[in-house]
Amino acid sequence: MHPSTNQFEALQARINQQILGQELVVKQLVIALLANGHVLIQGLPGLAKTRAVNEMANEVKAKLNRIQFTPDMLPADITGSEVYSNQTQSISFKPGPVFSNFLLADEINRAPAKVQSALLESMAEAQVSVAGVSHPLPELFMVLATQNPIEQEGTYPLPEAQMDRFLMQILIDYPDKDAEKSMLKLLRAQQVSATEEQATLTVEEVLAARKLVEQVSVNDNIDQYIVDLVDATRQPKKYSDELATFIELGASPRATIALDRCARAHAWLSGRDFVSPEDVKAVCHGVLRHRMVLSFNCINLNMSSDIVIDKLLDCVVHV
């Protein structure tokens, strides 16, 4: 039986019941799950970044491992290492927490670059190499990394190469007052009744849904629109003199691929078998915000990546 969009709408609804006031964050997480990509979730401490990931993993009957990144971590703490056994007089590989379906990399930018880069191979190749031997990761493997703003104490900026490996960057902000009030009631109710709920989806259903997303059609006009959007980050002067003053460095070809994959997932979630310009616009901020380097002028004006992307969408016209 093919998985339906209704199952993934139910998945979103159930997570939204536990993470109040963050509907857009939850939808982007589900899009990334369908598009087979890794996500970087950024926000201040205490905004339910970790909770959001935990809830999604709970709703999919899959293995979740969590790594709390700290400044004294070693790469082997992620990948695993070879261990000598006195009983068998042999060396065997002991898998690290990366061997899971969902890997929650909590506060990823609190560890030094060498440890952060240990994730790169697993994110790009779905495998881990230790002592010259490659160990494959599960077919459903998704890194969900949380990051504190770099202005926070004890954080390191992620290398650009690693940032580019994330399909989307999701920003999580303070909930509104009504959602926060409802949150208090929800947590009190959970303390009273700690019932264990059944998972909504299986790993097989997620993998089958990904195949359906791959079948969503994209016409040449949409392809051209996606390519034009990415090109505008690299050669903004062709599209707008103002835009050229905001962008220092544009997005890589991975951005083009990510826009295509995320737009198809958004279209499928909306119940369509074709991509529209609105699908591309809906995922554009999450895909591009971490892939552009803003100019000093832009930073000086206190303009965020999202404001620049808004201007980008105004400048690039869909044919």
> Over the stretch 211-241, which tens digit does the pLDDT of each residue have?
999 999 999 999 999 999 999 999 989 888 8
Sign of the torsion formed by the C-alpha atoms of 268, 271, 273 and 277: negative
Cα–Cα distance for residue pair 280/309, rounded to 1 Å: 12
pLDDT at position 132 is: 78
Over residues 165-212, the pLDDT tens digits come to: 899 999 888 877 887 788 787 777 766 655 556 667 888 999 999 999
pLDDT of the chain along its 319 residues, tens only? 567 788 888 888 888 887 777 888 889 999 999 999 999 988 777 777 778 888 888 888 888 899 988 888 888 888 888 888 777 778 888 888 999 999 998 888 888 777 877 788 888 888 888 777 888 899 999 999 888 776 566 677 777 778 888 999 998 888 778 877 887 877 777 666 555 566 678 889 999 999 999 999 999 999 999 999 999 999 989 888 888 889 988 899 999 999 999 999 999 999 999 999 999 999 999 999 999 888 888 888 888 899 999 999 998 887 6
pTM of the model: 0.87
**3-state SS, residue 255:** helix
> Helices 23-34 and 203-214: crossing angle, nearest 10°?
80
Distance from C-alpha of 183 to C-alpha of 27, rounded to nearest angstrom: 19
Q: Are 10 and 216 in contact (CB under 8 A)?
A: no
Residue 154: what pLDDT? 66
Taken in order of first residue, the domains within the chain and their CATH numbers are 5-187 (3.40.50.300), 215-315 (1.10.8.80)
Alpha helix (H) ranges present in the chain? 5-18, 23-34, 49-59, 76-79, 113-125, 160-165, 177-192, 203-214, 220-234, 241-244, 253-269, 277-288, 296-300, 305-315
Helix axes 49-59, 23-34, angle to 10 degrees: 50
DSSP type of residue 153: T
**Predicted local distance difference test score (pLDDT) of residue 23:** 85
Q: Which two tokens stand for residue 193?
A: 């009744």
* Residue 75 CA to its chain's centroid (Å): 21
Q: What are phi and psi of 249, to 5 degrees?
A: -140, 135
Rounded CA gap, 99 and 81, in Å? 12
Could you give the dihedral angle defined by the CA atoms of residues 208, 213, 215 and 219, in that order, rounded to the nearest 10 degrees? Answer: 180
Element (H, E) at 68: strand 64-68
Q: What is the DSSP code string of 199-254? A: PSEEHHHHHHHHHHHHTSB--HHHHHHHHHHHHHHHSGGGT-HHHHTTEEE---HH
pLDDT given at position 2: 67
Length of the chain: 319
On the CB side of 126, how many CA atoms lie within 13 Å of its CA?
11
pLDDT at 319: 65
List, in sequence order, every residue forming a beta bridge with 134; answer none if it has no partner. 129
User: From the CB of residue 229, how many other CB atoms can be counted at a distance below 10 Å?
Assistant: 25
Residue that has been written with the tokens 């004006």 in this structure: 301
Select from 215, 199, 200, 197 the least CA-distant residue to 7: 200
